[in-house]
Amino acid sequence: MDAYPPQSTPDPYTDKLSKTSSMEPVTITMILSVMSTQYCVARENQLDHVKATLSAFSYVTETYDPSEVRDVIINTPGLTPLALATVTVKCPQHLN
């Protein structure tokens, strides 16, 4: 019989357990914080920009409700500069 709630699995890049969604609304700041951290880890593990971005996004959807994440992303104006600024602060060496 499966355990309830489902058990978290280790993230392949950090070996940390994925987080569960909280009751507070998801914000673009929360999404970008998780994504940028995971993006930097993936780049340090030699993934290219596309794979690192997709990997980071998949981690966000494991951390927060995917429909909330999608809604926040779609409804955030000026997302590209925000995302680049967040990554620039965390790991500027990987933006080449």
For residues 29 and 86, is the Cβ–Cβ distance under 8 A?
no
Report the candidate in 45, 39, 71 with the shortest Cα–Cα distance to residue 58.
39
Q: What is the pLDDT of residues 22-62, one digit of tens each?
A: 568 999 999 999 999 999 999 999 999 999 999 999 999 99
Residue 88: phi, psi to the nearest 5?
-60, -35
Dist. CA 14–CA 9, nearest whole Å: 11
Q: Tell me the average pLDDT of the chain.
A: 83
Q: Give the domain ranges of the chain.
A: 16-79
Pick the closest to residue 59 from 11, 9, 26 (CA basis).
11
